[in-house]
Structure 1
């Protein structure tokens, strides 16, 4: 098995930022970004109780845009924010 280092497509970078913003507005809760209210939240109120790093969203967006299957131990977050992403559970 070889390892390839791939550039992240610009489309994936944009998608990751957009979905991460929704994540922050949801305060880290695992819900679909489509279900959030469009209210503006001040920066002081955006600190989530549980924080997921932005690179997780880069990975999810890159996999989705490139039509890759993602192997993860956190299916919940990726299912919530990337519902059409192909995933394989590796929690065993």
Structure 2
């Protein structure tokens, strides 16, 4: 199983000229190891690209993504890591989703397919990342 970060899916959805081919290749490779997973946070982040829930659900189904809810242990860990981030001077905006995704990966021992490795490497060093070189 692989947890797929929003940025990789948006590269696919938007047919990003720089990253779409990489995203497709990585998704295909990861799918050979088991299901491709998203959580509630990733689903919500993807929703900004869709006018209707039916269209987003059709994409999720077509991409064979499994929606896996966040376990309580991941929610707790994300809060603790976020607190440490804030105490170290981190900004308040736009980062909690990354901590929730990273915490789920850490708690469930899932690799993360992402292009945004900074926070994952800093705050979840045990999480295996599938990312561009």
Task: Work out which of the two has the higher radius of gyration on C-alpha atoms and give 1 or 2.
Answer: 2
Following superposition, the deviation at residue 51 of structure 1 comes to 4.3
1:25 to 87, 90, 103: 87
Unaligned runs of 5+ in 1: 29-47
TM-score, length basis structure 2: 0.48
Whose helix proportion is higher, 1 or 2?
A: 2
For residues 12-91 of structure 1, the aligned pairs below 5 Å read 12-28=74-90, 48=91, 51-90=93-132
SS at match of 1:8: coil
Which runs of 4 or more aligned residues in structure 1 lie more than 3 Å from their structure 2 counterparts after TM superposition?
none
In structure 1, distance between residues paired with 2:101 and 2:88: 20
Aligned residue pairs, count: 71
CA contact (8 A) 1:71 1:90 kept: no
RMSD of Structure 2 on Structure 1 (CA): 1.9
